[in-house]
Amino acid sequence: MGTLAELRPGTVVLVGGGPGDAGLMTVAGRAAVEQADVLLVDHLAPADALAWARPEAEVVDVAKLPRGAFTPQERINELLVEHARAGRRVVRLKGGDGFVFGRGMEELQACAAAGVDVRVVPGVSASVAVPALAGIPVTHRGLVQGFTVLSGHVPPDHPASTLDYAALVASRTTLVVLMGVANLHDIADRLLAHGMAADTPAAVVARGGHPDQEVISAPLRDIAQRAAGIAPPAVTVIGEVARFAASHPLIEETV
């Protein structure tokens, strides 16, 4: 019970690795790592989880291949198919959940199109877990009945942005911004311009769940300036629930 059924050769498993602490991997994800012949690993995947792999397993860091600063998604898709067709048990280990801005569906589709058996093990998403580890619930009874997770990778005024920031303000849901550190100033400005109260509580949580987790709390009007020195990865929470932000991690340290 609680262990992944035997992983067949030629199969790909897309494993969500959680926000970074190996203790926040799933039991099924761990079982997949333990059985893998080859692991294709992102830079945000939990590094400590690789200790669970068999000594003879091949670990491919697909964030750092020679052809550039990162491996193009198309090449990752090809690698998954190539390794599976060679009869290996393939684990694709990502940070967070592979279906939350993780391009997991593209990998699943590439495998399926190639006739490769592919499975999904969902992970703990940073969008919910990182706020929690900073003491912030994305929902709270009597306060908010929903939350919206958005990518801050594309600035609000960019033609490629599909988001309607006026509607995000009007929705009255908690806003959780992933990949938004670089554009936090623009995002906060846009929310203010669409009428979100300047004193709305906000928090930036950097390195969530790690021993050096850092939480910056400030009203929306000040949050971008206050968090100006923060390096990614970080999760930003905007809404009444952000007032609960604690200054220390709440999870037990894992050993």
Question: What is the chain's alpha carbon radius of gyration, rounded to the nearest angstrom?
Answer: 19
In 3D, which of 141, 163, 16, 40 has the Cα closest to residue 90?
Answer: 40
- Report d(CA 244, CA 33) in Å as an integer: 36
Angle between helices 73-85 and 104-113 in degrees, nearest 10:
40
> Which CB sits closer to its own copies, 148 or 217?
148
3-state secondary structure (DSSP) of residue 49: helix
Q: Write phi, then psi, for 29 (nearest 5 degrees).
A: -65, -40
Residue 156 binds to its own copies (criterion: CB under 8 A): no
Among 20, 30, 188, 202, binds its own copies (CB under 8 A): 30
By CB under 8 A, which span of 84-92, 102-110, 184-192, 218-226 interacts with its own copies?
102-110
Confirm or reject binding of residue 45 to its own copies (CB under 8 A). Answer: no
Touching its own copies, residues 193-232 (CB under 8 A): none
- Is 94 among the residues known to form the active site? no
Among 164, 197, 199, 231, binds its own copies (CB under 8 A): 164
Q: Which member of 106, 186, 189, 222 binds its own copies (CB under 8 A)?
A: 106
Q: Which residues, listed in sequence order, are joined to residue 234 by a DSSP beta bridge?
A: 206
Q: What strand order describes the sheet that includes 117-121?
A: 58-61, 38-41, 90-94, 11-16, 117-121
The answer to whether residue 64 is catalytic is yes
Structure tokens, 225: 């300036």
Nearer to its own copies, 119 or 226 (CB): 119
Binder among 63, 65, 114, 144 for its own copies (CB under 8 A): 144
Q: Is 75 in the site for its own copies (CB under 8 A)?
A: no
Q: With contacts defined by CB under 8 A, name the span among 3-11, 64-72, 80-88, 199-207 that binds its own copies.
A: 3-11
149 lies in the site for its own copies, by CB under 8 A: yes
Maximum C-alpha span of the chain: 57
Part of the chain binding its own copies (CB under 8 A), chosen from 60-68, 130-138, 214-222, 225-233: 130-138
Note whether 244 binds its own copies by CB under 8 A: yes
Q: Does 245 bind its own copies (CB under 8 A)?
A: no
Q: At closest approach, how far in Å is the CB of 229 from its own copies?
A: 26
Residue 22 or 38: the one with the smaller Cβ distance to its own copies is: 22
DSSP for 185-251 reads HHHHHHHHHTT--TT-EEEEEESTTSTT-EEEEEEHHHHHHHTTTPPSSEEEEESGGGGG--SS--S
Q: Which residues are catalytic?
A: 42, 64
